[in-house]
């Protein structure tokens, strides 16, 4: 069972935009949002649900993170670097990240990861949603790109 996660901007933004951010505190007891991710989400230029709502969520643990030189060597974005650095320094936490380069870095460094699609599978297994397929469609309409192959894999893992 995954007790806590450190989450990147893309999963947060698409979950808020799709009306599914409420799944996070139902799935995890601890949800860390590194400062770099927080800043990326609440930028004034977005003016969307995530920017307006993140600061009002009691479950979002805003935290300063020191970047790991091992992660920084991968030259990822500030948010991805912070997420993976925090997960590397706090092994019980799983990194919630969708970026392919960041996922490659995580696998290389042995950091456990979970993508936004994986969150939906967990939610279905715990009875929080009825259909991963429907939840994926909400994410796609909210700006998250997923290949048809990934969608098929996620639906198969969810038994759909």
Q: What is the pLDDT of residues 30-87, one digit of tens each?
A: 999 999 999 999 885 666 878 889 999 999 999 999 999 999 999 999 999 999 999 9
Residue 134 predicted with pLDDT over 90:
yes
Beta bridge partners of 31: 5, 60
Q: What is the chain's mean pLDDT, rounded?
A: 94
What is the structure's pLDDT at 68? Answer: 97
Amino acid 44: pLDDT: 57
Domain with 82 in it: what CATH number?
Answer: 3.40.50.1010
Cα(10)–Cα(95) distance, integer angstroms: 12
**Whole-number Å distance between alpha carbons of 156 and 145:** 18
Query: How many domains are there within the chain?
Result: 1
Rounded CA-CA distance 140/130 in Å is 17
Walk across the sheet containing 94-96 and list its strands.
Answer: 60-63, 30-34, 4-7, 94-96, 113-114
Residue range of the domain that includes 115: 4-157
How large a percentage of the chain has pLDDT more than 70?
98
* pTM beyond cutoff 0.85: yes
Q: Which residues contact 131 (CB under 8 A, 6 or more apart)?
A: 124, 160
């Amino acid at each position: 069972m995954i007790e806590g996660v450190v989450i990147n901007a893309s999963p947060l933004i698409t979950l808020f935009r799709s009306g599914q951010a409420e799944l996070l505190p139902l799935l995890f007891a601890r949800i860390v949002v590194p400062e770099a991710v927080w800043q990326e989400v609440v930028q004034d230029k977005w003016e969307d649900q995530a920017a307006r709502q993140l600061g009002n969520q009691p479950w979002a643990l805003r935290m300063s993170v020191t970047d790991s030189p091992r992660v920084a060597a991968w030259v990822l974005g500030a948010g991805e670097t912070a997420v993976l650095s925090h997960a590397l320094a706090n092994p019980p936490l799983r990194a919630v990240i969708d970026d392919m380069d960041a996922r490659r870095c995580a696998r290389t460094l042995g950091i456990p990861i979970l993508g936004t699609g994986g969150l939906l599978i967990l939610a279905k297994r715990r009875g929080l949603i009825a259909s991963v397929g429907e939840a994926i469609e909400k994410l796609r309409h909210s700006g998250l790109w997923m290949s048809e192959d990934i969608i098929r894999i996620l639906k198969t893992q969810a038994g759909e």
